[in-house]
Amino acid sequence: MRTDIPEASRTDAAVRDAETVLRTCVHCGFCNATCPTYLLTGNELEGPRGRIYLLKNLLEGNIDASSATAQHIDNCLGCLSCETTCPSGVDYSRLLDHGRPLLERLHKRSWFDRWQRNLLTRLLPDAARFRKALRIGVLARPLIGLLPRRLRRLASMVPERMPATARLSSHGVFPAVGHRRLRLALLTGCAQSVVGTSINDAAIRVLTRHGADVIVGKSVTCCGALPYHMGERDHSRRHMESAVDGWHEQLEQGVDAIVSTTSGCTTAIREYGHIFAGTSRAAAATRVSDCTRDISQVLTELGFGGTIDLPQLQVAYHDACSLQHGLGVTDEPRQLLRHAGFEILEVPEGHICCGSAGTYNMLQPHMADALKQRKVQHIESLRPDIVAAGNIGCIEQIAAATTVPVIHTVELLDWATGGPRPASLAISQREDRR
């Protein structure tokens, strides 16, 4: 694609990176075939090719950052399905990561949109603050109907009761059972450490059971992904700097790898080398990126084994976009679940996003709900006993629309190797098959 970006703008390294991405695109349109928002609307500007043209024209100064332009970019889930499809290798995520903060600078949002984004930016990455807000929300649930319409959406996402507190995943070192084979730093996550503590506890049990020391440090609490993908750069940068410093220190002290059970976080961490390029943290950030793994990759490396006899259960495996498109991890979770004795059911349209996408389901509810219902219909058509997924956002999104238990992959693997039965898994009639 030919570009005509003003020379004054090209002095910015980020603009030059964006220009490189633009010139890679041959505008073939293959990306539209796998884009969730294009699938829903059929609108060219709601597909990757249309958004690429919008960002190109913004960079060239041919269009203003209007509300319509901002809406088309906001509607992008950042699912990266287009990157998996693209025959030319267009690094769309890099272009999007430049375009979103550019829009934040050029476009003034409505007061409510600004307020909502500021709230999420300051609330979700701070586990203590998020937990307090949830506690207030749980107490105030009976009053949701009295709130203004635009606030009801956020309020309705508050759980009916407070999530369980962590049993294991507080700060400390959890030693390997038997011979130690790896030392791992576990990212418990900001939002996940509040609403998904059972996931972190299961990860510690299954990793130590397979010969890994697990370290949960105090210095890293958030990877910065949530505000970063909203186009916010101040808070996200501070979280990322803290994460790089904390993890690099642990790597220097003998940690072999950083492991995450939240694939949305892992994809962001794997970009640290690019994000901090040309800074004093470049080398440390690259090392952190290179040493970060999804838990399914680590368990595959360790050699998963020692399973117990479980009910014959059919599992609909949901490919989180961050896992399949961002990290290219598709086989490992399936192989582990099969080895654990579960029958895997392939979800139709498995490459299409469920609509969670970080804060997307809060900021773009119309699109998110349509994608959620589409995903749940495909899942329920299989009549599975369980849905398994490797990302907390997907789990919360899908679980809100189905009665089928939605469980993190690692919780099932923990159960299969002697851990407790996942709390959200109701007793199945299929246990009679044991």
- Judge: domain 304-433, CATH 3.40.720: no
Sheet-wide strand order for 406-408: 343-346, 314-317, 386-389, 406-408
Can you give the pLDDT at residue 208?
A: 96
CATH number of 172-299: 3.40.50
Q: What are phi and psi of 73, to 5 degrees?
A: -70, -40
Task: Say how far apart CA 10 and CA 16 lie, in whole Å.
Answer: 6
Cβ partners under 8 Å of residue 19, min gap 6: 3, 5, 10, 59
Q: Is 179 exposed, middle or buried (0-12, 13-18, 19+ CB in 10 A)?
A: exposed
Contact status, residue 138 vs residue 157, Cβ threshold 8 Å: no
Residue by residue, pLDDT tens for the chain (434 residues) are 788 888 888 888 888 888 899 999 998 989 999 999 999 999 999 999 999 999 999 898 888 889 999 999 999 999 999 999 999 999 999 999 999 998 988 899 999 999 999 999 989 888 888 888 888 888 887 878 777 777 777 777 777 777 777 666 578 899 999 899 999 999 998 888 888 889 999 999 999 999 999 999 888 888 999 999 998 999 999 999 999 999 999 999 999 999 999 999 999 999 999 999 999 999 999 999 999 999 999 999 998 888 888 889 999 999 999 999 999 999 999 999 999 999 999 999 999 999 999 999 999 999 999 999 999 999 999 999 999 999 999 999 999 999 999 999 999 999 999 999 998 885 443 444 33
Question: Which amino acid is located at 90 in the chain?
Answer: V
Nearest to 41 by CA among 76, 5, 12, 92: 76
Contact status, residue 388 vs residue 426, Cβ threshold 8 Å: no
Q: What are phi and psi of 270, to 5 degrees?
A: -65, -10
Q: What are phi and psi of 28, to 5 degrees?
A: -75, -30
Can you give the pLDDT at residue 301?
A: 93
Q: How many Cβ atoms sit within 10 Å of the Cβ of residue 7?
A: 6
- Judge: domain 9-106, CATH 1.20.58.220: no
Per-residue tokens: 282: 């470049």
Can you give the pLDDT at residue 432?
A: 40
Can you give the pLDDT at residue 212?
A: 96
Contact status, residue 392 vs residue 420, Cβ threshold 8 Å: no
User: Which residue spans within 164-273 are E strands per DSSP?
Assistant: 172-174, 182-187, 212-216, 257-260
Nearest to 347 by CA among 320, 382, 314: 382
Task: Say how far apart CA 175 and CA 172 lie, in whole Å.
Answer: 10
Can you give the pLDDT at residue 84?
A: 94
Exposure string for 295-323, b = 16+ CB within 10 A, e = fewer: bbbbbbebebeeeeeebebebbbbbbbbb
Task: Say how far apart CA 35 and CA 299 lie, in whole Å.
Answer: 31
Q: What are phi and psi of 292, to 5 degrees?
A: -95, 135
Q: DSSP 3-state assignment of 406?
A: strand
Task: Say how far apart CA 266 and CA 413 lie, in whole Å.
Answer: 20
Segments of the chain assigned to CATH 3.40.50 = 172-299, 304-433
Can you give the pLDDT at residue 426?
A: 57
Per-residue tokens: 310: 């479980």
Contact status, residue 395 vs residue 407, Cβ threshold 8 Å: yes
Q: Is 222 exposed, middle or buried (0-12, 13-18, 19+ CB in 10 A)?
A: buried
Q: What are phi and psi of 191, to 5 degrees?
A: -70, -40
Cβ partners under 8 Å of residue 130, min gap 6: 123, 124, 190, 191, 194
Can you give the pLDDT at residue 292?
A: 96
Can you give the pLDDT at residue 145?
A: 77
Can you give the pLDDT at residue 434?
A: 37
Q: DSSP 3-state assignment of 213?
A: strand
**The pTM is what?**
0.91
Per-residue tokens: 256: 């072999």
Per-residue tokens: 333: 């979770």
Segments of the chain assigned to CATH 1.10.1060.10 = 9-106
